[in-house]
Structure 1
Amino acid sequence: MSFFWFALVIGFLALVQMQFFFFTGLKKIYYRRYFNKTAVFEGETAEMVEILENRKFTPVPWLRVESRISPYLRFAKQEDVDIRHEQFHKSVFFLRGFKRIRRRHSFLCSHRGFYTLKSASLTTGDLLGLFNKFIRVPSDAYLYVYPRPLGIDEISPACLKWQGDVMMKRWILPDPILVNGIREYRPGDSQKDIHWGATARTGRLQVKVRDYTVSPRLYLLLNTQISEEQWGSILEHDDMEVIETGIRYAAHLASWAVSNGLEVGFACNGRLVDEEGVVRLPAACSQAHLEMILQAMAKLEIVRERNFHTLMDYLYEDAVTGMDFAVISPYWSDTLEKRANKLRSLGNSLTYIPINADQVKSEVSDNEADKAV
C-alpha cells in the first residue's frame, strides 16, 4: 500500500511540474542572433552570435535552439552545439531566472554567396522529458561572402595584359587642365604651355608639365554559359567551378580598377538570388560602388538568365559608348565576335579574357583526389 501512495505522489508531482513548465517555459524568453560582420571574403572566418534571455523568475531546465544553415558555413565543433547533416545547427541552453546568455559560434566561409538566417525554432520541456513545446521566432541575419581574392600566380595572363593595356592607354593624351609641375622650355613645346610667371622669376623660358590621362571607363562582362550550345541552366560541379573562376577574375579586375581610380561597371547574363533579369551595374569609381559590385557577385546565381549574346545586344541597343569592355567567358564564337564588332562600332574597345576550362577542371579533380586520400 505504501508503494502505491508513493507512486501516486510521484505521479502527481510529475504532472504538476509538467503543467508548470508547460505554461511558464517559453514565457518571457527572448532570442536573437546576428553575424559579427556583414561581409567577408571566401575563405575567411566570421562569427554567429546568439543572445538568449529569460526575463522571469522561474528557470528553464533546458532550451534547444534549432535552425537550418547552409553547409558552406562550416562551424567549428563546440560543446552544447550539434550540427547534423551539415545543415541543421542546434544549441542547448540552461537558463536560470533573469539570466542572459551570449554565445559565439565561429565558422569558415567556404563558398561565395549571400547567406540569410530567417527564423529559429525554440523547444523546451519539463524536468522529466514528458512533453516538448516549441515556437518559431523571427531572427533575420545576413552575410555577404565575396569571391576569393586571387593570388598573383592565379591571375590569368589575359587579365594582366588587359590591365597593362588600360594603364598604357591612361597616359596617352595630356590633360588640358591638370598641371603636375614646371620645367625648362624644349624645342617643340607649345607656346600656350609657357608659364610666364616662372619665366620672369628664373629669366629662362619655363613650361607647364601636364598630367597625362584619358581616364578609361571599364566595363566587365561575365558569361555564365559554359558553351554556346548549353541547353538549360543546370551545370555539372566542375563546370560551376569554371564560372566561379570567371567571377573571381571579375572581382579582381573590379577591385584593381577602383584602387587605381578608374570607373568600372559590371554586367552578367546570370541573375541575383532575390531579383529577376540580368545583372547590369553602371560604371563608377568609389569604394561604395566596389562594395555594390562585390555584393552583386556574392548574390549571383550561376544560371543562364539570357544568352550572352543577348546581353551584348542590350548594350548595343542602349548605345553604350566610350567603354573598354573586358569579356570574361569560357568560350568565344562567331556570334560573340559579331556582337563585339557592333560594340566596337560605337567607339568602344573590347577584349576577350578566356577562362581556361580544362585547367580549372583539372584542378578540381586534383583537389577532390586529395580529399579522398
Structure 2
Amino acid sequence: MFLRDSWLPLGIVLVVGGVLAALSPAVALGVFVLLAGGLAKAWAARSLEHVELERYLPESRAFAGEELRLTYRLTNKKLIPVPRIEMRDHLPVLLSPEELHLPPSSSPDSTLYTHSTHLGWYERASWSLDLPCPERGYYRLGPARLRSGDGFGIFSDEREEQQMDGIVVYPRTVAMADLGLPAARPLGEIRGKERIFEDPMRFAGLRDYEPGDSLRRIDWKATARRGELQSRVYEPSSTHHIIVALNVDTMEHPWQGYIPELLESSIVVAASIARWAYENRQAVGVLANGSLPDSDRPIAISPGRAPDQLPRLLEALGGIAPMTTEPLAALLERESHRLPLGSTLAVVSALMLEPLAAVLRRLKEEGQQVSVLSMVDEDWGELLGDVPVQRIRYDASKTEMVT
C-alpha cells in the first residue's frame, strides 16, 4: 500500500517544501500526514497487546462418531479498541466441519480456519464450532495466528499463538455378540469369579513343590539352600486379571506397510474386550506393540479397576500409531514376568508368526490362561497347539456403539 510505505517521506517532503515555498496548506497537510501515519503505526504496533486467544473444549475426549463443541474466545484487555482482528487456526482435516469447505493449510493433514471480528475496549468475543469425530486417533489443534492493525487499515501486526490443544477420539466399542462371541464368557471359562486367586505381588511364604506347580512359582534360591524344590505361596486376591494384547502388525515385514482395515478392526475388538472386562468387574490392562504420537515406547498399562482405568485404556488404543515399535512376541517376552499368576491373556491379532506362537504356548504351559482372537480366516492350529483360537467376524461398516 502506498501510504504504508510512503507516509514518512511524503510528510517530510510536504512540510519542507511548504516551508521553502511559503505554502502553509502544504505544511499543514504534511504535518497531518506525519501525525496520522505515526498514530496509525503506533496503534497497529499495540493492537495485539493484551489480546488473548483461548480455545475452550468442555471435553477433549470423544468416541468415534460423536461431535465435540470447540469455542474460541478473544479478549481485549486494554483501553485501545481493536477495530479489526483476524484469527487463523490449523484444524485436523478429519475434524474440520464439511460445511465450511476449509482450504488446506501448509501443515500436513490440516485445514486453515479463518474468522474475523472486532473488539472494543475490554471486550470479549466468542464463537463455536462443532467438530466431527469420525475416526479414532490423536489430533492436534493449532498453532493459531492473530492479525490486526490500526483503524485506518494502513498498518498491520501478526502474532503466533503457542498454545496447542489435543483431542483424543476413542475407538468404537461393540457388544460381544457383534464380534461373534458369547456375551457371558467371550474369552472362554474365566476362573476367578468362583474362587480366590493368589496375588503375586503379596508374598506369603514357601512350601514344598507339588506336581503341577508352575515353573514361575519355584523359588530357585530357596531350592538351592534346602536341596529340595520350593514353591512360593502368595496371599489371596479375589480379583481376576485380564490383559488385552494387541498385535499392531498386519504384515509379516515392517517395510510392507500395514492393512488399515485389519488394524482398525483389531483396535475395535481390543477396545471392546477391555470395556467388557472392566464393566464385568475384572482388573484389565493393555499391551500393544504400537506407540502413541511423539513416543517410541510400546503401550503397557497394568491391569486395574480404578475409575479412570477404562478411559486410560481407550485413550491408549485411540491414539495408537499404525507402525510397530517391536514384534508383539518380544513385548510379551519382556512383560511376561509381570503378568499375575492365573491371569487371562487375550491376544487380538491379524498375524501369527512362529515367535509369537512360541511365546503364547510357553505362557499357557506356565499357567496363564491364553485366548487368541483371530482377525483373519487362517488356520493357526498347528502353530498354537492347544492354545484356543476364536475367529472374530467384525463388520467394520457397523457404526453402532455400546453405550
Whether the TM-score (by the shorter chain) exceeds 0.5 is yes
Q: Which residue of 2 aligns with 1:75?
A: 97
Q: Within 5 Å, which residues of 2 pair with 1:21-40?
A: 21-40=43-62
CA 102–68 in structure 1, closer or farther in 2 if over 3 Å, else same: same
> 271-280 or 7-16, which moves further after superposition?
7-16
* Residue 43 (structure 2) pairs with residue 45 (structure 1): no
Change (3 A) 1:172 1:268: same
Unaligned runs of 5+ in 2: 1-22, 105-109, 198-236, 379-391
Distance 1:317 1:152 in 2: 30
Which of 226, 230, 234 does residue 253 from structure 2 map onto? 230
CA contact (8 A) 2:187 2:346 kept: no
Normalising by structure 1, report the TM-score.
Answer: 0.74
Change (3 A) 1:102 1:166: farther
2:330 maps to 310
Describe how 1:212-231 pairs up with structure 2 within 5 A. 215-227=239-251, 229-231=252-254
Deviations along 1:270-308, one digit per CA (max 9) or x if unpaired, are: 112243321111111232111211121122112110012
Query: CA RMSD, aligned part only?
Result: 3.6
Deviation at 1:166, TM superposition (A): 4.1
In 1, distance between residues paired with 2:160 and 2:196?
65
Q: CA deviation at 1:240?
A: 2.0
C-alpha separation in 2, matches of 1:241 and 1:11 = 66
In structure 2, the CA distance between the partners of 1:343 and 1:361, relative to structure 1 (3 Å rule), is closer
1:58-117 residue CA offsets vs partner (Å, 9 max, x unmatched): 321211112222112123646xxx832252222212112221112222111122122333
Which residue of structure 2 aligns with residue 276 of structure 1?
A: 296
Work out the number of aligned pairs and report it: 320
Listed one character per residue, the Cα deviations across residues 198-220 of structure 1 (whole Å, up to 9, x for unaligned) are: xxxxxxxxxxxxxxx96432111
1:287 to 307, 329, 334: 307
Q: Does 1:144 align with 2:201?
A: no
Q: Tell me the CA shift for residue 165 of structure 1.
A: 2.0
Q: Shift of residue 329 of structure 1?
A: 0.5
- Alpha-carbon distance in structure 1 between the residues aligned to 2:30 and 2:376: 77
Determine the C-alpha separation between the residues in 2 that align with 1:29 and 1:104: 19
TM-score (norm 2): 0.69
Distance change >3 Å, CA 95–CA 45, structure 1 → 2: same
- Residue 372 of structure 2 is aligned to residue 352 of structure 1: yes
One-letter code aligned to 1:323: S
Letter in 1 for 2:61: A
- The Cα of 1:162 is off from its aligned counterpart by 5.3
8 A contact 2:246–2:348 mirrored in 1: yes
CA–CA distance in 2 between the matches of 1:360 and 1:18?
68
| Cα deviations by residue, 1:158-195 (Å, 9 ceiling, x for unpaired) | 5758526246x4555589xxxxxxxxxxxxxxxxxxxx
Alignment partner of 1:246 is 2:266: yes
Matches within 5 A, 1:126-275: 126-150=150-174, 155-158=178-181, 163=186, 165-166=188-189, 169-170=191-192, 172-173=194-195, 215-227=239-251, 229-232=252-255, 234-235=257-258, 239-275=259-295
Distance 2:165 2:50 in 1: 22
Residues in 1 aligned to 2:78 and 2:369: alpha-carbon distance in whole angstroms: 68
Residue 209 of structure 1 corresponds to which residue in structure 2?
Answer: none
- CA separation of 1:335/1:55 partners in 2, compared to 1, >3 Å: closer, same or farther? closer
Deviation at 1:333, TM superposition (A): 3.4
Structure holding more strand per residue? 1
Equivalent residue for 1:63? 85
Determine the C-alpha separation between the residues in 2 that align with 1:35 and 1:348. 43
Identity of aligned residues (%): 19
**d(CA) in 2 for partners of 1:9, 1:360:** 81
